[in-house]
Amino acid sequence: MSSISLNLINNSNDKNNSKIVIFQKNVDTSFEELAVAWMVIENCGVTWNHPFSYPLDLYISASDSWGNYSPLTPASNGQQFQVSESNSGDSLTLRGPASSDTEIEIYNGLEIGAFTANAYKNGKLLATKTGIPPGEKAVFEFKPTIWIGVVSQIQEGQVMNSAVLSQVNTELSLFGIASADIIMTGGGNSARATPFQFVLDNIQYA
| CA angle 11–15–20, rounded 5-degree value | 60
pLDDT exceeding 70 applies to what percent of the chain?
Answer: 98
Of the pLDDT bands very low, low, confident and very high (cuts 50, 70, 90), residue 8 is very high
SS3 of 132-143? ECCCCEEEECCC
For the segment 97-111, the average pLDDT, to the nearest whole number, is: 96
> Could you tell me if 3 and 146 are in contact, meaning their C-beta atoms sit under 8 angstroms apart?
no
Q: Would you say domain 3-55+143-205 falls under CATH 2.60.40?
A: yes
Q: What is the structure's pLDDT at 88?
A: 79
φ, ψ (nearest 5 deg) of residue 74: -65, 140
Across the chain, how many H-helices and E-strands are there? Answer: 1, 16
The ranges of the chain annotated as CATH 2.60.40 are: 3-55+143-205
Q: If you average pLDDT over residues 107-135, what whole number do you get?
A: 95
pTM of the predicted model as reported, rounded to 2 decimal places = 0.93
SS3 83: strand
pLDDT value at residue 17: 86
Whole-number pLDDT of residue 32 = 62
- What are the pLDDT digits (tens) for 88-98? 788 999 999 99
